Amino acid sequence: MNLLFVGDVVGEPGRRVLLNNLRQLKDKLALDFIVVNAENAAGGFGVTEKICLELFEQEVDVITSGNHIWDKREALTYIVGEPRLLRPHNYPVGTPGSGWYVGETAAGDKVGVLNLMGQAFMHPSLECPFAAADAVLAERPADLKMILVDMHCETTSEKTAMGWHLDGRVSAVVGTHTHIPTADERILPQGTGYITDVGMTGTYDSVIGMHKDKTVKRFLSKLPERLETASGPATLSAVFIQLDADSGRCHGIKRVRIAE
């Protein structure tokens, strides 16, 4: 079973490089399932129904997100009727939408996707993502073998800890949010694929996808310089994950990078 997870899509450049390459990539890698983190897809801040529909049309199976999920307020209502758009699962009970979805490949294999958010340095403070993961796994359907976790999180320690916490219990834990790909992809000892951050899909001549001169100026001046998405050639950042459909174990995790 071949799965692609695409890191935080940032603005028009991110959507462009993704949509222009996804079908080709699907063929080339014989992808069975595609998950995209789209929390910054709408101009860097949030996601809209229109953008989700574009992604689903390009054969994206599930969309994950993170702290920017509600930046476009329409997400609060759209998510209610669209179970394939996930928000962090450890929001309080009663939050619109869900962070857990079980999809199916064309071959009829079930794939669970769980979206979590870290607590350290993230606003607002959500419930413990470790306990939230345990709760989901305790109620997983018996026949669900493959589970992918998007751990949206600031610190490397909280992400790495989640990898170890879930090793052997899910197929893969991939980190998002920092927008820079890490070079530590590996298969953990009990068979879970892991990477600390997939990196963003957007313009890298930027500061995490935003206009670099304005952002640098803001760091220097401490003034509320308005941030806007950087333009220019973009790069798709993803991980290609190979799973054994019967056991759910990961037997391959590899960074994918396609630059315009």
Q: Which residues bind a second copy (CB under 8 A)?
A: 70-71, 73, 76, 91-95, 119-121, 124-128, 130-131, 154-158, 160-161, 164-165, 178-184, 189, 196-197, 199, 204-208, 212-213, 215-216, 219-224, 255
Phi, psi of 189 (to 5 degrees): -55, -30
CA–centroid distance for 36 within its chain? 5
Helix (H) / strand (E) containing 148: strand 146-152
d(CA 99, CA 64): 8
Q: Which of 8, 32, 61, 185 binds Fe ion (CB under 5 A)?
A: 8
Task: Give me the amino acid identity at 87.
Answer: R
Binding-site partner at residue 91 among a second copy, Fe ion, none, CB < 5 to 8 Å by type = a second copy
Measure the CA–CA gap between 104 and 109, rounded to whole angstroms: 5
With CB under 5 to 8 Å by kind, the binding choice for 178 among Fe ion, a second copy, none is: a second copy
CB of 40 to Fe ion, least distance (A): 5
For a second copy, give the closer residue by CB, 205 or 228.
Answer: 205
120: CB partners within 8 A, 6+ apart: 153, 154, 155, 157, 158
Q: Is 235 in the site for Fe ion (CB under 5 A)?
A: no
Q: Which does residue 98 bind out of a second copy, Fe ion, none, counting CB within 5 to 8 angstroms by kind? A: none
86 neighbors 71 (Cβ within 8 angstroms)? no
- Shortest CB 79 distance to Fe ion, Å: 16
> Crossing angle for the helix pair 74-81 and 49-57, nearest 10 degrees?
40
Q: Of these partners, a second copy, Fe ion, none, which one is at the site of residue 67 (CB under 5 to 8 Å by kind)?
A: Fe ion
Residue 68 annotated as catalytic: yes
- Of residues 34 through 73, those in contact with Fe ion by CB under 5 A are 39-40, 66-67
Residue list 152-211, contact with Fe ion (CB under 5 A): 177
List Cβ neighbours of 244 (8 Å cut-off, separation of 6 or more).
Answer: 1, 250, 251
Q: Identify what 157 binds: a second copy, Fe ion, none; CB under 5 to 8 Å per kind.
A: a second copy
Ordered strands of the 186-187 beta sheet: 100-104, 110-117, 146-152, 172-176, 193-195, 186-187
Residue range at the interface with Fe ion (CB under 5 A); choices 31-39, 70-78, 86-94, 242-250: 31-39
> Applying CB under 5 A, which residues contact Fe ion?
8, 39-40, 66-67, 177
Catalytic residue list = 68
